[in-house]
Structure 1
């Protein structure tokens, strides 16, 4: 068991929360119990994940997507329902959005590269003045089909590939979730394959015209990695009981 404020201070420092101006309000969004023994990790803050965390006896939820984005003006509708559930159940809600994308040890994008047996070689994916992704490279070029198979199997997801550029891949850039903003950067820097979570109509048109090869593995699935990687850190540091709540969206 650990004091909530001690745990929050550690997370704020370890994840470098203050370094990332973000639409998400990162850090402790909702205050609950003063002592924490059991922690639920999940991607999204929804009534379903809140209820599952409380039912399993959690004192805190640590999530990638919180409930406050760009400030909270009105506590009505879904905001009221989620906040009411958290307060009634005494659950602390801790959020790490961009900080958990960009973390060099447990971040979503480092973990994406690790699925392929790669270690990051440098930052990649500039977003509003911040770099939140990483790039790496294989010793020898790999067929895009092989890379897709590995990602699909390890994330247990459906993968789509857009082979508009190279099909034999040496350099890889990873930006989880809605990472298609990095398409032109990938092309400019000679990165053979961009791995991301979402890919829309306009993104398709950009990629085909550059041209840039892309692997799309789902917003949700690519962002399960960071929260899962953070779990053993807190277990080892504080002896906490940790568990993951899987609520896939299929998106």
Structure 2
């Protein structure tokens, strides 16, 4: 299929212009004009590019691209990554905040669905828009059970900080570095705030707010969106697709 047709679909489907973002979303690096095989990954690294090339991918679609507002110098790691893309003729497409916030394939919606929850309403204000979602259990669930389900379905270790409710009804999901919305979560009655990473300052904020938190890893929580998008691309265009798993443990 034609690259530009796929790019146009992704731009529209992910609504990439609707969200303020330091990532340069969309087609970041141009490669082959025809696309028959598409790789998906969370991050743009030499390893993911090389694995995409070995897998004969014509395009690599990622959550974390390599251009964050622009490149000042094409040296060092920027040169090596670009050279690897150019040598293999691979198109690089990035969707950062748009893939967090998407109401169907977004990381945050998909995280709630792992818990058997449907998105109840958007939450998590980020530069004038919302990127997270709230979900609600019909019956309160023990925090240990919710964390166990997350751990099993993500294949990771989940750390919990029980600063608030231990019986969970309302869950707020913002993957990756989502703790910026802790105070909003408290205002909206979130019993358990689920995110990817948690800093020293985040710990103190959650403690003072009295809100329980589950931390499941930045990488693991953000595999969900690219995997869901991969299935959409496969079904719509009939191209070969594959996921490149490069966990960081963080």
* TM bucket normalised to smaller: over 0.9
Cα distance in structure 1, aligned partners of 2:58 and 2:248: 25
1:130, 1:80 → 2: CA distance?
A: 34
Query: Counterparts of 1:246 and 1:183 in 2: how far apart (Å)?
Result: 29
Q: Distance between the aligned counterparts of 1:169 and 1:35, measured in 2? A: 49
Partner of 1:178: 177
Per-residue Cα deviation, 1:123-181 (whole angstroms, up to 9, x for no partner): 01111112000001000100000000000000000100000010000000000000010
How many correspondences in the alignment? Answer: 250
| C-alpha deviation, 1:76, in angstroms | 1.0
1:9 alignment partner in structure 2: 8
CA distance in 1, matches of 2:49, 2:159: 31
Give the TM-score of the pair, scaled to structure 2.
Answer: 0.99
For 2:227 and 2:184, the matched residues in 1 are separated by 28
**Equivalent residue for 1:122?**
121
Q: CA RMSD in A?
A: 0.5
Q: Which segments of 5 or more consecutive residues in structure 2 lack a partner in the other structure?
A: none
Task: Provide, for residues 204-230 of structure 1, a one-character-per-residue CA deviation record: whole Å limited to 9, x for no partner.
Answer: 000001111000000000000000001
Correspondence for 2:239? 240
Q: Give the conservation status (yes or no) of the 8 Å contact 2:20–2:127.
A: no
Q: Aligned residue for 2:160?
A: 161
SS at match of 2:140: strand
Counterpart in the other structure of 2:43: 44
Q: Distance in 2 between matches of 1:208 and 1:191?
A: 14
Distance in 1, Cα, partners of 2:161 & 2:86: 45
Question: For residue 249 of structure 1, what is the aligned residue in structure 2?
Answer: 248
The whole-number CA distance in structure 1 between the counterparts of 2:131 and 2:161 is: 23
Q: Report the equivalent of 1:205.
A: 204
Q: Does 1:188 align with 2:187?
A: yes
Equivalent residue, structure 2, for 1:65: 64
SS of corresponding position for 2:39 = strand
Divergent runs of 4+, >4 A:
none
- Partners of 2:162 and 2:99 lie apart in 1 by 29
Paired with 1:21 and 1:80, the residues of 2 have a C-alpha distance of 27
**Is residue 14–residue 98 contact of structure 2 (8 Å, CA) maintained in 1?**
yes
- Structure 1 residue 189: Cα displacement: 1.0
Q: Which residue of 1 aligns with 2:217?
A: 218
Secondary structure of 1:161's aligned partner: strand
CA distance in 1, matches of 2:182, 2:20: 22
Q: 1:21 Cα deviation (Å)?
A: 2.0
The alignment status of 1:20 with 2:11, answered yes or no, reads: no
The separation in 2 between residues aligned to 1:22 and 1:133, in whole angstroms, is: 15
Kept after mapping to 1: 8 A contact 2:150/2:158: yes
